[in-house]
Each structure stands twice: as C-alpha cells, then as structure tokens.
Amino acid sequence: MTGRAGIVVVGGGQAACQLAVSLRENGFAEPITLVAAENCAPYQRPPLSKAFLKNAGAPRSSLHLRAEAFYRSQAIQLRLGEAVTAIEAADRKAILASGASLA
C-alpha cells in the first residue's frame, strides 16, 4: 500500500463488481470496499429474471459474477447487507444505515 486513500464502491451489481475488478487489474493497490444492501455477493441480474428462474435446479452460485474466494484473493472487502444512506463529499465519507462510516 502506498498510503493513498482507498475506494468505496456502492452497489452490488455488475458495474460495481467490474469497477472493483478493473481497479485491481490496473494496479490499484489500496483498499477496496464494495458495499451492497443485499446479503449476497454481486450476481448477474438479467439471467436471474430469465433463464435461472426457468431452471429450478441451477445452483444459486451460477449467478455470481465472481466466487467469494476471488474477492478475498484480490483484497476486495465485501460489506454485504449494508446500505449507503449518505455520501459526505467534503469529508470523503460514505455513511451506512448502521451509522458507521467509510472513508
């Protein structure tokens, strides 16, 4: 780590996941925290609404954009089941529904 500020990515969709992945792929070495209101890792939403629902036998993990082990190996912290309720731009903080804040 170089002492630069980390990144807080808000949302659990494909764009949020890809942002975190792209940061790592392009050499960003500082902390990355992905905050999502849902209690599961980022997953593919279009297949959920179509093919997945038709195939009741498909494992839920087949929808995940990345395995949870990937996030650990890339030092991307997942804060699942937490909603960002405010962003304090001047202080560079995201405020969570729990009252916690992330710089």
What's the pLDDT tens digit per position in 4-24? 679 999 998 889 999 999 999
What's the pLDDT tens digit per position in 35-49? 999 988 887 766 555
Its CATH class, for the domain covering 7-102, is alpha beta
Tell me the C-alpha distance between 36 and 15, whole Å. 12
Could you give phi then psi for residue 5, rounded to 5 degrees?
A: -70, 150
In the chain, where are the structural domains located? 7-102
pTM across the whole model: 0.79
Cα 77 to the chain's mean position, in Å? 8
